[in-house]
Amino acid sequence: MAKSHLFFFILLVVFFFCCFSYIESSKYDQEELQWLDDKDDEISMVQSRHSSLRTCDFAKGKWVYDQTYPLYDATCPYLSTAVTCRKNGRPDSNYEKWKWKPHGCSIPRFDALDFLGRMRRKRIMLVGDSIMRNQWESLVCLVQSVVPTARKTVIYNGPTMAFLALDYEMSIEFSWAPLLVELRKGPDSKRILHLDSIEENAKYWRGVDVLVFDSAHWWTHSDKWSSWDFVMEGNNIYKNINPTVAYEKGLTTWAKWIDLNLDPRRTRVFFRSMSPRHNRENGWKCHNQKEPLEYFSRPHVPEQLLVLQKVLRRMEFPVYIQDITTMSALRRDGHPSIYARASGEKNNQQLKDHDSDCSHWCLPGVPDTWNEILNAML
């Protein structure tokens, strides 16, 4: 009988030890996943996956004039000349004062100290083309004013640049990879797009806590402009390939790399939708536009976005789409137009018909809203 009691006592001790271990393990797992907020199983990657965003579709809304904007001064030292429109001679400034208001909810106003606190000891990297650099400059300018001059710096490493807030041990980085996959020079300096090679770009993405990708504009192909001369896949080389087919193949290579190399408990991944252009074949010239459109009767969904959604549905890694296309398409007034370089008004007027940048964005301006939304999603 004593042996029986002893056996049950030992069994009880083992049971409580296992329960305690399980509780501690579960607590640890919950703490690890709390920042990642992986509450849903579906990988449809829309903003509604976050509990705080479930009732808010940031993509649908309207622009409202707000005198309390912009969120930082146009003299921010991290802005490129091409986006400092007022400094370059643009006479109006109302484009800086429009705030995006989603239907039925609101976007929290960007708080630099709160953002830095939440990103402490973390790396956030924006990956893509010059419009993603546009967004990087916006994000840096949103936070830099609260960081003492002696405690911030920018460093460069190959195709990357990083703003460091030293007291927070955090960085806001940009990595140049407009096609995500590799574009290399071949014989006779021909540009060869390698649809199944990505590591030369992707090696910079390792160890990052928040990755924001963008890739669309460089895939646009026309008779007058293209990013490559030949396309290579495996041992096959092509002179002509459907750009949409190439885009899906390139995104699939990117998706496979994400699935194989990143841990969703360590890294959050966003893909920002295509930034619209207000000239070329499908729009209007942006020169002298001074206010947003109110709405579109028939909003256009870019083919690249449909391809992106298709690729993301095949992934195991949860990737969140940040849809900024329609809201930005309403902002025909937000581009540098002829004010992408410093010159007199007379010279600018002479340039307006043949040299107008309707792709990038003046800063302060539209990309600040993209970053306010990104901040809310984080």
| Cα Dmax for the chain | 105
Q: Parallel, antiparallel, or unpaired: how do β-strands 123-128 and 268-272 relate?
A: unpaired
Those residues whose C-beta lies under 8 Å from the C-beta of residue 6, and which sit 6 or more positions away, are: none
Contact of 226 with 193, CB cutoff 8 Å: no
Q: What are phi and psi of 197, to 5 degrees?
A: -125, 130
Contact of 124 with 213, CB cutoff 8 Å: no
Cβ neighbour number for residue 197 with a 10 Å cutoff: 18
Nearest residue to 340 via CA among 329, 327, 351, 328: 351
Assess whether 209 carries a catalytic annotation: no
Contact of 82 with 357, CB cutoff 8 Å: yes
Active-site choice (209, 214, 333, 357): 357
Measured in whole angstroms, how far is the alpha carbon of residue 164 from the centre of its chain?
Answer: 19
Structure tokens at 288: 């002298």
Structure tokens at 87: 């400094």
Terminal Cα distance for the chain, rounded: 60
Assess whether 130 carries a catalytic annotation: yes
Helix and strand numbers, DSSP H then E, in the chain: 9, 13
Helices assigned H by DSSP within the chain: 2-34, 112-118, 130-144, 199-202, 243-261, 303-313, 325-329, 345-351, 366-377
Active-site choice (44, 48, 130, 343): 130
Active-site choice (171, 356, 360, 368): 360
Rounded CA-CA distance 144/139 in Å is 9
Q: What is the DSSP string of 15-39?
A: HHHHHHHHHHHHHHHHHHHHTTT--
Q: Which residues are catalytic?
A: 130, 357, 360
